Structure 1
Amino acid sequence: MDSHIAVFRGKEFRETLHNGEWWFVVEDIVLALSDSRDSKQYIQPMKQRDPELGKGWVQIVHTLPVETSGGPQNMLYANTEGIFRIIQSLPSPKAEPFKRWLAKVGYERVQEIEDPELATKRTRALYQAKGYSVEWIETRMRGIAIQAELTEEWK
């Protein structure tokens, strides 16, 4: 497993690459997005306030080893989807920007389902914002379209 410490808005949190997917230490995320100093005292009431989260906790959170100053320890980890679900249940002002972002992304995804051309337009805009040339973007978009056609043909 590839593990390291990431920093977001001045807060450190541990993440590890497990089975090709990034997993994050739940305690680190909860402490970073709440005013609590004790994640265990914060998580238990959160699971009680949100019974669906509590019921699904064992599917969302898994124990993985992590190196600590005292040696290896097993910690609770969640993948990106699980962390987003946990953030939705955090009753903290620090979690609100994430909740708004999740709502925005969800809304955009619904729009793209209703009008698939929006996804193409957003992809082009994203590539432009990243500084790619118009020629590169057109080549990339054609490549994506050809790959989609071939995949559909092979089904």
Structure 2
Amino acid sequence: MSTLELVLNMLAEATTTELSKTTEPKNFDENRGVAIKGGSIAGNARKEIKNTTGKPVLTEKSAVDFTRVIADIIIDREDNKK
């Protein structure tokens, strides 16, 4: 996942949490509606970024790929300390 993908995922989660606190859904259908709204807000942000930059936000990288990049950075940093 790219940095933007991670941030948009966090935006969707945080927005859904806030919407849930505000609306206090009582059942599955209400919770589902809140989740859809939260995801829609992040989706709109993704579209706006794509329209503004002209570049797609979504990549073919997975979270596992991103974790490997982070791990490699940490290993390089540790090697440079020696």
Higher helix share: 2
Higher relative contact order, chain-length normalized (CA < 8 Å, sep 6+): 2
TM-score category of the 2 structures, normalised to the smaller one: 0.3 to 0.5
Indicate the structure (1 or 2) with the bigger Cα radius of gyration.
1
Higher strand share: 1
